[in-house]
């Protein structure tokens, strides 16, 4: 017993004993031995993208690609761009705010702050689509390939790893 700490009331102790006393194996986190090693079960933590989130992703993609604009303001996107889309769910303020909050919480949409071009003392919260997520790439029709736009170039001489190893010796 810890000095200065009172014991728990009986009803709490019984509840804790009942839960702790049960010895049920956790199948989700119990390791199993495979091929001379220990393997932990893997679970896909990514949740499915709902239709409303898909609509939001497409709408933000469209807003980001507007010529002449360098950022998308949160308030403008929430109050003008989303209701202007053809989606029925975007017509309700509460639903629109909840879907946008879910997208921000799941890091599908990343927020930032920049100085307001009209009055710099009041910064603007900006939105940006997290295009690195496979879910976003799938909704936008770009697939899971991260190699889009990447072309390796050849450099004269030996590999960098060989140079580093040689210099360490």
Judge whether 15 lies within some domain. Answer: no
Tokens of 28: 């989700």
Q: Does residue 20 lie within any of the structural domains? A: no
pLDDT band with cut points at 50, 70 and 90 for residue 20: very low
Q: Is residue 9 part of a domain?
A: no
**Does 86 reside within a domain?**
yes
Kindly state whether residue 7 falls inside one of the protein's structural domains: no
Query: For 132-153, what is the mean pLDDT?
Result: 76
By the 8 A CB rule, do 16 and 8 touch? yes
Per-residue pLDDT tens over the stretch 29-56: 445 555 555 554 444 434 567 888 999 9
What are the backbone dihedrals phi and psi of residue 112, each rounded to the nearest 5 degrees, phi first?
Answer: -150, 170
- Kindly state the tokens that stand for 118: 């009209």
Residue 155 in domain:
no
Residue 33 lies in a domain: no
Q: How far apart are CA 97 and CA 9, in angstroms?
A: 43
What is this structure's pTM?
Answer: 0.58
Range of the domain at 134: 51-139
68, part of any domain: yes
Specify the higher pLDDT residue, 2 or 82.
Answer: 82
3-state DSSP assignment of residue 161 = helix
Give CA–CA dist 102/147, Å, rounded. Answer: 28
The domain tally of the chain equals: 1
Helix, strand, or coil (residue 114): strand
DSSP 8-class letter at 112 = E
Nearest to 61 by CA among 143, 131, 146, 147: 131
Q: Which residues contact 145 (CB under 8 A, 6 or more apart)?
A: 137
What are the tokens at 95?
Answer: 């639903």
- State the CATH number of the domain containing residue 56: 1.10.10
pLDDT in tens, 85-141: 878 888 888 999 999 999 999 999 999 999 988 898 999 999 999 998 888 988 988
């Amino acid at each position: 017993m810890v000095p200065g700490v009172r014991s728990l009331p009986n009803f709490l102790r019984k509840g804790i004993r009942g839960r702790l006393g049960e010895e049920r194996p956790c199948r989700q986190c119990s390791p199993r031995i495979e091929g001379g090693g220990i393997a932990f079960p893997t679970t896909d933590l990514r949740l499915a993208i709902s239709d409303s989130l898909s609509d939001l992703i497409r709408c933000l993609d469209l807003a980001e690609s507007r010529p002449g604009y360098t950022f998308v303001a949160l308030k403008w996107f929430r109050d003008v761009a989303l209701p202007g889309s053809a989606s029925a769910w975007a017509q309700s303020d509460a639903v629109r705010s909840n879907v946008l909050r879910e997208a921000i919480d799941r890091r599908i949409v990343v927020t930032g702050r920049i100085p307001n071009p009209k009055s710099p003392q009041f910064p603007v919260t900006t939105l940006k689509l997290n295009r690195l997520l496979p879910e976003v790439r799938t909704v936008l029709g770009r697939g899971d390939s991260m190699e889009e736009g990447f072309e390796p170039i050849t450099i004269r001489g030996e590999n960098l790893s060989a140079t580093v190893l040689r210099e360490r010796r």
